[in-house]
Amino acid sequence: MSRNPTIKLYRHPLSGHSHRVQLFLSLLGLPVELVDVDLRSGAHRQPQFLALNPFGQVPVLDDGGTIVADSNAILVYLARKYGGEAWLPTEPFGAAAVQRWLSVAAGPLAFGPAAARLVTVFAARFDADEVIGRAHALLRVMDGELARRPFLAGERATIADVACYAYVAHAPEGNVSLAEYEHVRAWLDRIAALPGFVPMQASAVGLAHA
């Protein structure tokens, strides 16, 4: 039986968007070649990379010549091709529940916890108080919903959880405390206990300063 072509993941090790794809590949047990893209040197703006993703963003997946960009789009692709029904239901309500949190990952999560972390890790020019406030607003909602179920979209882990994990787990790096969010912290522990879990590289900044 022939092996599947090697999957390549173009990523940055401190990117939560990249980590969500790396995490899902590991949860699926798929072998992957990690290709680091040097964002600081502008490698993502070079013609070779722009040929893969004209938006000049990581991550990008190369699955045996099939190129998929955008982290959430990659999660959907991998779930449909390799993950079966469990990670992305086809049943209408289940599919909608997952999509809801993919939208959260691209909206409130990106402009809250992720943006707060960008200030401390990458010196992004956001208003720190504003994005920290957005982060806590999101975490209050997440905590309330996770008080009623173990995972974001239901009783088992889906790509909704994979999409939201990294930036919540690393929110303290952006000076966003998780201390008051008991159910969010329990959810993070449940994700970390999944077979195949891999953590994202930590940064000793913000509240996570060693």
Give the range of the structural domain holding residue 150, as residue numbers without chain letter.
Answer: 85-208
Domain boundary among 84, 104, 125: 84
pLDDT at 156 over 70: yes
- What contacts 42, CB < 8 A, 6 or more positions away? none
Domain boundary among 55, 84, 113: 84
Note the pLDDT of residue 5: 59
- Report the SS3 class of residue 15: coil
Note the pLDDT of residue 120: 96
- Of the candidates 24, 10, 35, 75, the one whose C-alpha atom is nearest the C-alpha of residue 198 is 24
The structure tokens 């959907």 sit at 76
Taking only the tens place, the pLDDT of each residue in 74-118 is: 999 999 999 989 999 999 999 999 999 999 999 999 999 999 999
DSSP secondary-structure letter at 5?
P
Looking at every residue in the chain, the average pLDDT score rounds to: 95
Whether residue 112 is contained in a domain is answered as: yes
pTM for this predicted structure: 0.94
Q: Residue 33: beta bridge partners? A: 8
Contact 207, 177 (CB under 8 A): yes
